[in-house]
Every structure is written in structure tokens, then in C-alpha cells.
Structure 1
Amino acid sequence: MRVCLITPQPDHPLLAAAAGLLRTAGHRVETLDPGTAAGPPAAPLADVYLLKARTPRALALARGLERQGAPVVNPSTATTLCQDRTAMAELALRAGLPFAATRTHDSLGVWAASGDPVPDGPVVVKSRHSRRHDLVARVDDAARLRELAAQWPQEPVVVQDFAPNSGWDHKLWAVGRRVFAALRRSELTPEGRGPTLPLALGELPEGWAELVLRVGEVFALDVYGVDVIDTGDGAPLVVDVNAFPGIRGQAGAPEALADLALTRAAAHHG
């Protein structure tokens, strides 16, 4: 099989380890850098493409490959949807997932200047468009809102009510039907984001692993992350979904990714 990685960083630990497993098994692994590629490659196409990039050029490249009939993991439409937190929330809530209620403002600066008061109790303000180093902050009062608006005046944002929790986020990932888990101190705590701690699946509250797989079905994702907080007595609240995250340090994740790539390639030919 020929497996192609769509990424500018083929040395990413997850990709490099999965690629090593595939090559050891006799498969060919190539890399397509969306930052330098002029467009979709000419035939013959690879048997499957792994889309580990979310830039406009990467998404355009993936769409071009899909138009030629190539299987792409994750599909470009699913990857694009996960970058828009408004669309993400709408889809999740329509599907009945326990997702945080989400409101949208086209401009943080306009909202802050509008006189529309901050809702009772703290809220979480996030960039509408998910990307590296985007805005994620807790807002308790109008003064904090004005402070953020001065730094991000033109930023489209979503607003979610702050749900009381332990201060730890459950970082859950799926590769195909394999679920992985870890704990990470929330970046909204006074101490800021802390290290990622391993978490056995058996330590998750009942039904959480099944919830992760349901998210994948709703969003048409094969490799993805789900951020969940425990609001009490094991009640989950999904606050974010990410297409093809890093999944660093999770034993078995490279093997799961290599198996998934071969399964998708075989299904395409089968």
C-alpha cells in the first residue's frame, strides 16, 4: 500500500511512529507538504491520504484529492467543520450530544462596546475559528471583557457558560474505534495549563468512551480529540472537538493509526 501524509511535519511523533510501522510491514509512506505543493499530484494516487494539517492550502489540497476519488482521513469537510466552533456546537446539539450551549458574536470589540452585559456568572470566551494560539479565556465581569476586547478587537468569538468542575480537562482521543484518555489541568485555572497525565480507560466514568465514538459518528471523523469536563457525578460536558490532534505519548496510538490507514486503503479498493 502507498500511504501519503499531508503535513509539513512528517517527524511529528505520532506520524513518524505510524510511518515506521507501515514501512517495516513493507508499505510505502510518502509526504505531501501543503505549503509547497502546487496542487493535487497527478495519477497514480496513493491508496490513502492522512490529513494532518488544517491550513487553507491543506484543505484545498485534500478537496482536490477527494474529487479525484482518493480516500482522505479525515475528510476535508469534517476537518473544516471542526475549525468553526459555531457550526461545531450547532451540529453537536442537533445530534443530542451533551455539548456546551454556545452563543456567537461577530466581533469581540463590538460585543464589549454594545452594552450587552456579561451573563450572570462566569463565561468562557473562545475564538470562533479554532487555530493555534487562539483565544480561550474565562470572563467574570465587564472589566475582563473590555480587557480582552482591547487585545482582540476584531476577533469573532463564541461564548459558553462556565461549568463548575474540578479544574481538570479530560482529553479523549479516538483513532478509528480505539479510544485513548488523559487528564490535563485546564488552561482556565489560575495556575494555567499543566502537564498531561495518563488516564486508563477503566478510570473514565461509565459511558464516556462510547460518547467519544458517538462524536466521531456525528462529525464523520476517524482521528479526532474530544475535550470533556466532568460537571459532577460523572456527567460529561463536551466543550471542543478537534480533527487529527497530536495524541502524543499514548501507547498504542501509532499502531491504531497504521491499522486505520491500511483499513481505509483496503476499503477503497474493496
Structure 2
Amino acid sequence: MRLCFLVEERYRHDGMPREVIRQLSAWGHQVDVVRPGRSLIRMSDAVRAGSHDAWVLKTVSGGPGLTLLEAAAAVGLTTVNDARSIRGVRDKALAAAIGRSRGLPMPPTYAAARPEALEEIPEAEFPLVVKPADGSSGRAVRLVPTPDRLRALRPELAAEGMLIAQPYVPNSGIDLKVYCVGGELYATERGSPLGPDGGTRGRRVPLSAEVAAIAAEVGAVYGLDLYGVDVLLGPDGPVVVDVNDFPSFKEVPDAAARVGRAVLELARGGGGRSRSALVGALTGAEPPVRTPEPPAATSRMTATVSGGR
């Protein structure tokens, strides 16, 4: 097969997707790498129909790679993930609106183009977690304890563009990250970026049936096949606080081979989940993809647990 990976400079030397590209090449597939952040691209040639079996995106939020991926999808090329699904989670304000409307356990979310607008949020909602709507990898995430502190941060926040704010979910300071690859779920935990250590290296942990069902539903709601979900275990149960297309898949065993096989499967099948999944989420229609059952021996979506903590 011939595949095209769109890789931002930030990820040029990262294990993901570099190791996946190496693995696919070792299996005999042709992999072309385009770096949209620094290359002059002749769009008509880049997305020529039939030139690649699938296009795969690994770029920063707001980077030029998504435009290229959407151009490829517009002429009927297979993309991993679906281009519209990626847009639906890259914009965190849009992702929150979709998730809440589809019943995912997500916190109330406020959005504002200017930081002073966030000062209208009732004091009872504090503390808040404030972050850029197009942020990634924990960039510029702030825990804001009081309205006074929010006002003091106005100059810093003004440089971040569109912002979202969510009431802080009390938790143990540990983030649970669930990765979906090849129809399997893997859970890792790591220190929160809001904690004193700013996030610590993760480790594999068992995945409960409740969290596995939520993670599987995330894929169905947004129309994603390769993705990650950030979950906090709050006082009222699990809460989804972020969704990432094509994440790092850290701590997933044999990640390069597993992701490589998943990309090939999606390429051969012309893509994964229905392209109308996101449209259904926006219109309120029932998505055509059935939410997978909680992990069981007969379920395609299986939760993988580690041998111990």
C-alpha cells in the first residue's frame, strides 16, 4: 500500500509516528511523509486522487496539516481519522458541545473569544480550568481558583485566542488516559499537568468496565477510530475532560505495530466509522455506529488490563 503521513515539525523526531512509519516501511509499504509546516505544497498535485491509499495526520492543533487532510477527503481519499471527526475534537469548544449533547459525562464548558468575557462566569463555578480551545499536550492549561485571579491573568490569556473554561473536577491528582487502537482499549495513569510535578510518566493500569464503556462511546460519538480519552475519576464518577485524535499511545505495548496494523486495516476498508457520525452528533440524530458493549470476550472493542498495579 502507499500511505501519506502529514507530520508537523514538532513531531518529526517523536516515537509516534516515526516508529509507525518505520514499521510500515519494514512491512514493504510505501510511506510518503509531508511536513506541512515548512514545505511549499502544490495543492492540486498533493491531493491527486488515487495517489495514496490513505492519508494519516499527526500535527499540532491549528497546524496546516488538517487543511491538507480535509482537501484529501474532499476529493474522496481515505483519511485516518476521518477529517471531519478530527475537526470535531481539535476544537475543544465544539468537542464539548458535541459530547454534552450526546450524553457523554463532560463538565459544563464556557467559551469566549476574549478573556474578559470569562469574568461573567458565576463565582460559584470556581475554581475553573482554563485552556485554549485549540490547545494540545497540556499547553497553557491553568487552574484559576478565584475571579480575582482570572482578572489578573487577562493579559496572558489574551494571547491564547479562543478560550474554554470548565469547573474544576475534584480528583486525586491522577489523570487516566485511555487509548483506542485496533478496536482495543488500553489505560494508563499519570500525574496531572495541574499538579506540583506538572505531569509524570505514566504506567499501565487496569481498566474498569465503566470507563471502558465511556471510552468506546467516545469513539462512536465523534466518529474516531484511533484516539485517546482523558478521564478524571471525580466524586460523581468518571468525567471526560479531553479527546485526542492520533495521540502518543504511550505505554501501549508494541504500539508501533498495533497502530500500523490499524492504519492498514482502515486504509483497506476505505476508512473506519461512518462519516455521518459527527453530522448526527451535531443534528441530534442517532449515530449509525452502535456503541460497543462493555469489554467482554465476544466484543470487538476489548479492554486490555495489565497484570497488576
TM-score range, shorter chain: 0.7 to 0.9
Higher mean displacement: 102-111 or 255-264: 102-111
State whether residues 130 and 165 of structure 2, in contact with CA within 8 Å, keep that contact through their aligned partners in structure 1.
yes
Q: Which runs of 5+ in 2 are unaligned?
A: 272-309
Give the Å deviation of 1:246. Answer: 1.8
2:176 matches 1:170: yes
For residue 213 of structure 1, what is the aligned residue in structure 2?
Answer: 216
What is the aligned counterpart of 1:80 among 84, 87, 106? 87
The residue correspondences of 1:192-211 to structure 2 (distance < 5 A) are 192-200=197-205, 203-211=206-214
For residue 277 of structure 2, what is the aligned residue in structure 1?
Answer: none
For residue 38 of structure 1, what is the aligned residue in structure 2?
Answer: 42
TM-score scaled by length of structure 1: 0.88
Instruction: Calculate percent identity across the aligned residue pairs.
Output: 28
User: Counterpart of 1:91 in structure 2: which amino acid?
Assistant: I
2:10 matches 1:7: no
State whether residues 184 and 193 of structure 1, in contact with CA within 8 Å, keep that contact through their aligned partners in structure 2.
no
1:185–1:56 Cα change, 3 Å:
closer
User: Counterpart of 1:7 in structure 2: which amino acid?
Assistant: V
The residue correspondences of 1:17-96 to structure 2 (distance < 5 A) are 17-35=19-37, 36=39, 37-39=41-43, 40-53=46-59, 54-96=61-103
For residue 224 of structure 1, what is the aligned residue in structure 2?
Answer: 227
What is the aligned counterpart of 2:239 among 237, 240, 251? 237
Kindly tell me the number of residue pairs found equivalent between the two proteins.
263
Aligned mates of 1:121, 1:42 — CA distance in 2:
51
1:126–1:118 Cα change, 3 Å:
farther
State whether residues 62 and 72 of structure 1, in contact with CA within 8 Å, keep that contact through their aligned partners in structure 2.
yes
1:93–1:179 Cα change, 3 Å:
same
State whether residues 82 and 243 of structure 1, in contact with CA within 8 Å, keep that contact through their aligned partners in structure 2.
yes
What is the aligned counterpart of 2:115 among 108, 117, 121? 108
Aligned mates of 1:133, 1:174 — CA distance in 2:
20
Give the Å deviation of 1:137. Answer: 1.3
Aligned mates of 2:17, 2:136 — CA distance in 1:
20
User: Counterpart of 1:96 in structure 2: which amino acid?
Assistant: G
Q: Deviations over 1:182-220 (max 9, x none)?
A: 11111222x1423122123xx223321222121011111
1:197–1:60 Cα change, 3 Å:
closer
State whether residues 188 and 251 of structure 2, in contact with CA within 8 Å, keep that contact through their aligned partners in structure 1.
no
The residue correspondences of 1:116-195 to structure 2 (distance < 5 A) are 117-131=122-136, 134-153=139-158, 155-189=161-195, 191-195=196-200
Q: Which runs of 5+ in 1 are unaligned?
A: none
Q: Deviations over 1:123-152 (max 9, x none)?
A: 212222324664321111122112211322
Give the Å deviation of 1:176. Answer: 3.4
State whether residues 7 and 57 of structure 2, in contact with CA within 8 Å, keep that contact through their aligned partners in structure 1.
yes
Task: Give RMSD over aligned pairs.
Answer: 2.2
User: Counterpart of 1:237 in structure 2: which amino acid?
Assistant: V
For residue 256 of structure 1, what is the aligned residue in structure 2?
Answer: 258
Q: SS of the residue aligned with 1:91?
A: helix
State whether residues 19 and 29 of structure 1, in contact with CA within 8 Å, keep that contact through their aligned partners in structure 2.
yes
Aligned mates of 1:204, 1:268 — CA distance in 2:
30
Aligned mates of 1:44, 1:206 — CA distance in 2:
41
Give the Å deviation of 1:55. Answer: 3.9
1:105–1:184 Cα change, 3 Å:
same
